[in-house]
Amino acid sequence: MAIADIDLRRGRKSRISATPFAVIVLLALVTALFVFPVRSFVNQRALLAQKQAEYAQFEDDIENLQDQVTYLQTEAGLQDAIRNQLGYLRYNERRLPMMDLPALSTELPDRWPYTIVSTIMLVRSLEAAQRAAQGEISLQPFNP
């Protein structure tokens, strides 16, 4: 009987020392089979959602570009592109400024060389007023 007790004690010691190792192996197995795949699945799902959003944005951009191409293939679209992008006008059109000239002071000192400039400005403003009275539209009234 003494020999049997020794064998049981050795078996119990080996089971007690093997239990933490078995738990570690079991945890590693559970981690390898469940935790890593679930984490990969969540990361792939987030990446897929991001790529789908980018794809939808690209589809919108392509649709807008196709609409522009379709519009440019029409006569009106071609004329708009020529007018807006190249700045061309038709032979019977004139470009008019949309903003008024700023109200600047024309008061200059009464000594040379400012008297010459004041006289030139007076003559040009009178010419512009005369053209305006005749119905002409002057785009730049102070240019000859």
What does the pLDDT average to over 77-97?
Answer: 83
Beta strands in 3-142 (DSSP E): none
- Mean pLDDT for all residues in the chain: 81
Residue owning tokens 């050795």: 10
101-126: pLDDT as tens digits: 777 777 788 888 888 888 888 888 88
Mean pLDDT in residue range 121-141: 79
CB neighbour list of residue 77: distance below 8 Å, 6 or more residues apart: 70, 71
Q: Which residue has the higher pLDDT, 34 or 139?
A: 34
Of the listed ranges 42-51, 105-114, 116-125, 131-140, the one predicted with least confidence: 131-140
For the chain, give the percent of residues with pLDDT over 70.
81
Q: What are the domain boundaries of the chain? A: 13-92, 101-144
Q: Residue 15 — pLDDT band, cuts 50, 70, 90?
A: low
Please determine, for residue 74, whether its predicted confidence score (pLDDT) is greater than 90.
yes
**Does residue 75 have a pLDDT over 80?**
yes
How many other β-carbons are positioned within 10 Å of the β-carbon of residue 131? 13
138 vs 144: CA distance, rounded Å: 10
Rg, Å, the chain Cα set: 44
* Model pTM score: 0.40
